[in-house]
Every structure is written in C-alpha cells, then in structure tokens.
Structure 1
C-alpha cells in the first residue's frame, strides 16, 4: 500500500483546482495531509487570474498553497513547474459539459491529460497520479460494470463520455506510472442536508417537472441512476489517493444493489414536491416515460421556439441515452479500500435535495433560516 502525500516534503500538483471537485479536494488534502499544494487553474490574462484567485478564496492565501496559471491546450502547459519538486499529481481539470463538441473534448480532456501524463512521468519523485474520471466513461453498456478497464467496443452518449474513456485508456498504457482512476457518479448535493451548489442535468430535469413543463421523460423506469454527494466524493478520493494501491480503478458511487431506479426517483421527487403548497395546487401529473425517438422529436420541436424549456431540454438531451442503459455498478474494490465507507442513502438524499431546490427555487432565492424542509 502506497504512502502518499503524508510527509512534509510532499508537493501535490492539483489541476482544475478552481472546479467544484478540485476545490473540495484541495480543502480535504490541506486538512488530512501535510502536502504543499500547487493549485493549477486555467487563466490567460490578468483579469482572468484575478477572477480565479477570488474564486479560490481562502485557498489562494493559504501558506501551503501556490496558485499556478496555465492552459491545457498550450503546447507545454507545465513548462514553468519544477519537475523535481512534484511528488503527487491529482488531475481534476476537464470540460465536463455533456454537450461539449468533439474538438474541445479531445483538446482538453484527452490531449490535456496526455500532456500531464508526460509531465508526471518526467518527475523523478512521483509517487501517485490520481485521475478524476466519470462513471459514464464506461459508455452505453448494460449489465455489470466492474472496476476494470473498458475495452474499445464501448459506445457513448456524448463526446464528454468518450473523452473520459479515452483519457483512461492513456493511463492503462502506462504501466510504469503509479496511477489511480476515480469514476465519479453524478453529484446530487453537497452533503446529506441536500444543499446544492452546482446544478447539473438531474437538477435541470427536476425543475422542468416541478413547473409542469415536462409531460414526458426519456428513459426506462427500471434504469438505475447513480448519485453521490460532494462530501463523499472528496473523502473517498482523498483517502484512496493517500492510502490505496497503485493502478487501481475505483467507482466513487453507490453500488448497483443500492441505487434507485429512474421510476423510483420520479416517485420520490413527486412525493417531496407535493409537500409544497404551490405544486400541490397545480395538480401536475407525473410525466410518462418515452422512447429515445419520441424524446428527440420533442427536443427538436421545442428548439424551433427557443426559450427556457428548450435550453433545459438541450441540457438533458446529450445524457438522455444513458437513461435507457441499466448498469449494475460494482464497488467491491473501492468499498474494501475505503474500509467500508458507504455513500449516503439515495432516497433520503434525493428527498433532501428536492426540498432544498423547491425552497430555494433552484437557487434563485435564499430561504429564511430554518425554513428548508
């Protein structure tokens, strides 16, 4: 078992340090290790550098942190970093938009990762290379999904998934490096309280349902959906990064036996929504499940008129094919390595998040203290 990031002489290069996962991992590592952190963020001019430092907040001023500016699309984005001081690398930087085009996905998520791998391999004191991937890097496969490499027969719902699979493949080719891969499920909330800081496709879908703007929903009601909290992600990845063995793939996710189905999610959400008088008065019916072709027709027809509904459907569309692909995600390796650390109860988390979204109107208002249901 590797001993990583625990000594005072360790220096961890953390890319994407201003992203949602990057920032929480930086805070976790400051609390649980003695490592110095090089916070690598994308910035190309003084205004952007100032904005990034402001976003980093207290991290930028911490005595154990140094902010490094660069761009993964540059020919040599790590040229200004001293190779002999780096002991550990945590790669969080990525474009995570499901609607990303293929060129951008390749330039940042694949080529950017390749450049970082090359840099890491030239660091004489390298002990660990952690790569934050996605559970959906496995593509549109059904059935058992083990914590192993995915072959090239995989098909994908969007270019983001393809780029994450491709980046994983780059690491599989480097048996000389002490890498770990973390396949992260969809982050639903910050913790068990249900607070949401960064909204994604699930939150957008719930908003359409709440306002009665989605009479049909893509997917099979028996498809399992995997959801975690930011708190769990930070703790799980942090502990694996410091203590688990090399060249392991870890699912940062609830297991297949614990995940909620899409049908159960819709039922639970509506149960929560009915606790809100406004929603109850509207008598909004649950949406019907539809096939992929019908949903594609809906997206195409609404796009002609534009507006909020069209934008929301456009955010769902690139992920929709996954809602027809039921996965039995295995977490044996990660659960054992984490000493039994388990994800929050999915139904309780979903209820808390649903209540928070309703009470804050999806972040548009701040509820009075203590009024979040």
Structure 2
C-alpha cells in the first residue's frame, strides 16, 4: 500500500515546501490537501499540473473537518500520514479567533485522525513558545509547568498541544519549531515577521544612529525553514519519532543582542552605538502611529527578551541519524538580509500592523 499524505495548512509557505520535500522522498505517494474555501483558487493554481494531488475543500473548525460525507470512507482507508499545520500564527491575534482555529480546529483534527484505519503517523506542528513566560531550560518532554503566556497565539497553541499529547492509540509526533526564517540557501520566505521586524525597525531609523534595544543577554532561537522541512520529513518516517515531542530549535543559539548586531551590520554596514531600555521600546510600540511607522508588531519586542532556553537533545540525537543538523545563523544570515533587501517593498510580504 503506497503512502497517502493528508495535510492542513495548504497552500501556506511551509505546507507548500513540505509537500515538495515529501514528494521527493516518496515518489509513489499521493497527497490530499484540506483547503479552506478562501484559499481554494490559490491552491488550484499551484497544483494544476500535480497529478498526485487532490484538493478537498473543508474547515478544520467543523465536524469531520467540513468534508462531504461521501469522502470520509475512502479517506479512512487510504490516509497513512496526517500533517496538521493549519493555525493562526499572528502574535497580535484576538483570543476568540485564535481559540477557534488553534484549539477547536485541533480538537476536530484529533477526532478525525482517530478514525483513520491505516494511520502510520500524525504530525502536529506546535511551537517552542508553548513555554510561555517560563525561564531557564525547557525540555522536550515538558509542557504544562504552570506558565503564563505573552499573547493568545502562545496560549492557544499550548492548549492545542495538550489535547494532542493526550491522544491514545494514535502514533503522534509533536514538533516545536523556534522562530522560523527563510531558506538558508536562498533566503526565500513568504512573510517578513519575527527577526525581519528588526530589519523593518532598522529601515525606519533611516540615517540616525542605531540603538540596541534592551540588554539582550538571552538566547534568541532562530531556525531556517529548510532545516524544519528536513527534520519534519525525517521524524515523520523514523520509528524513533513516534509518540515523542521535539524542539526544532538551534542547539547553539546566539543571544538577542548578538543577532541584533549581526543584522544591523549586514543591513546597515555598522553596529549599534548606544542602548535604550526594553521597556522604553515596548512603551513606544504601544503607540499605534509609532509601530505603524516602523512596521513592527508590539508583541515582537517580547521575543527579543525571551528567557527560555530550549533543550533539543532528543531532536539532535534522532536527526543525527539522518545527517540533519541546524546550520549556524552566521552562515546564512547574509542570504536572509539580501532577500529582505530585494523584496522589502513587496506588499504581500508585509505584516499588517494593528
């Protein structure tokens, strides 16, 4: 029986790239993409020449994922791997919207995968930031440690992961990526968020002297999307990946101050020359005209002072068997900055600032 992969989140950036990576690894496999009605036209354009792909319109927040009843028997007998990527990733998302997609949607997906008769693996994309406001070392087998959360994205992904982790009789792999940036070889990305807000901020400084923001002594965990793809494909098929949780994070991250300096030197050709307190920067970004001017989300400031350290020893150990390693940020940062420079005015890559 050939593998049939079902995926939510298509035609999102990572889902699209993951499809290519899976198709390359498994030439005999077929694919079913659960596509929200709002994304159907784009999905059709991208898969028009793909004979191995079938698009099904649905909605993860609905029972049976909003799929037609006549489709369910066939899916229950054919799906071998289910990849759940669909989520709202916006750091500034309102709670109700985040809960509906991230929590209720995951509950519906959990119910659906429980009806699949030949399921080999359920791969759930969580985030390292289910750690919330924890400090110190966070291990891969830890989840609920009484932590609080900086935003509704974190809290709803935490609630969703709890529900996935509670599943029984479902072979599951939970992945917790760090801050995902563009491809380490090409720099390509679909949105300028995360560390790209630093680049936006530096652009907004024009020719003024550039400050450091806060102390920045904490690790800032950045990983390129191609590492996430390689790791996901390997862990989804490795027996050692079943029923475990993995931090897809940098085992040797730079500090936030170092990352900030490296970006500034690459983008502006000089290092920051003075410092402003993090609380001052946060207060300024609380003013809507200020954050609109810089094109920076206020919520992004908190990740420059994130105090968690993500132990990823389980991921490193299993991925080592596939020759997969997270590249050093310094080796590919110039490519990220070059791609940003080339596409900084692309409106499709900008994040709407509330």
Q: 1:20 to 1:287 in 2, by over 3 A?
A: farther
- Asked whether the equivalents of residues 260 and 347 of structure 1 are also in contact (C-alpha less than 8 Å), the reply is no
Structure 1 residue 309 corresponds to structure 2 residue 293: yes
Partner SS state of residue 224, structure 1? coil
Give 2:20's aligned residue.
27
Q: Which residue of 1 aligns with 2:161?
A: 168
1:158·1:319 contact (CA, 8 Å) conserved in 2? no
Of 266-275 and 222-231, the range deviating more from structure 2 = 266-275
1:156-176 Cα deviation digits (max 9, x unpaired): 111111111111100121132
CA contact (8 A) 1:192 1:344 kept: no
Does residue 235 (structure 1) correspond to residue 230 (structure 2)? The answer is yes
Pair 1:38 & 2:38 matched: no
Alignment partner, residue 262 of structure 1 = 256
> For the Cα contact (< 8 Å) 1:221–1:289, is it kept in 2?
no
The alpha-carbon deviation at position 52 of structure 1 amounts to 3.0
| 1:70-104 alpha-carbon deviations (Å, 9 max, x no partner) | 11233432543332222221101111111111111
Equivalent pair of 1:12/1:89 in contact (CA under 8 Å): yes
Tell me the equivalent position of 1:247.
243
Superposition deviation, residue 272 in structure 1? 1.4
2-structure distance, mates of 1:183, 1:15: 17
CA positional deviation for 1:318:
1.7
Q: Which one of the candidate residues 145, 150, 165 is aligned to 2:143?
A: 150
Other-structure match for 1:324: 305
Task: Compute the TM-score of the two structures, normalised by the length of structure 1.
Answer: 0.83
Q: Of residues 182, 186, 198 in structure 1, which corresponds to 2:175?
A: 182
**Paired residues of 2:213 and 2:278 also in contact (CA < 8 A):** yes
After superposition, the CA RMSD in angstroms is 2.4
CA distance in 2, matches of 1:60, 1:115: 29
Partner Cα distance (1:332, 1:326) in 2: 19
Q: Report how far residue 180 of structure 1 moved.
A: 0.6
Are 2:334 and 1:351 aligned? Answer: yes
Is the Cα–Cα contact under 8 Å of residues 126 and 157 in structure 2 kept in the other structure?
yes
Once the two structures are superposed, the pairs formed by residues 62-101 of structure 1 within 5 Å of their partners are 62-80=50-68, 81=72, 82-101=75-94
1:364 to 1:19, Cα distance in 2 relative to 1, 3 A? closer
TM-score (norm 2): 0.87
Residue number in structure 1 paired with 2:278: 291
Indicate conservation of the 8 Å contact 2:180/2:225, yes or no: yes
The C-alpha deviation readout for 1:184-214, integer Å capped at 9, x for no partner, is 1112211234333332131122122133169
CA distance in 2, matches of 1:260, 1:143: 15
Q: Secondary structure at the match of 1:131?
A: strand
Write the distance in 1 (CA, Å) between the matches of 2:192 and 2:268.
22
Alignment partners' CA distance in 1, 2:328 and 2:109: 36
Please report how far the alpha carbon of residue 285 of structure 1 lies from its aligned counterpart in structure 2 after TM superposition.
5.0
Query: Any conservation in 1 of the 2:198–2:260 contact (CA below 8 Å)?
Result: no
**Cα distance, 1:27–1:330 mapped onto 2, change above 3 Å:** same
Q: Structure 2: give runs of 5+ residues left out of the alignment.
A: 348-354
- Asked if the contact 1:90/1:131 (under 8 Å) is kept, the reply is yes
Q: Does 1:114 align with 2:101?
A: no
SS at match of 1:180: strand
- Closer, same or farther in 2 for the Cα pair 1:13/1:321, shift >3 Å? same
Give the whole-Å Cα distance in 2 for the aligned partners of 1:112 and 1:197: 23
Q: CA deviation at 1:140?
A: 1.5
Task: Provide the secondary structure at the position in 1 that maps to 2:126.
Answer: strand
The 3-state SS of whatever aligns with 1:260 is coil
Q: Which residue of 2 aligns with 1:135?
A: 128
User: What is the SS of the residue equivalent to 1:220?
Assistant: coil
Q: CA deviation at 1:110?
A: 0.7
**Residue 336 of structure 1: how far off its partner (Å):** 1.3
Q: Deviations over 1:22-76 (max 9, x none)?
A: 11111111110132110111115xxx5223322xx1x343121111111123343
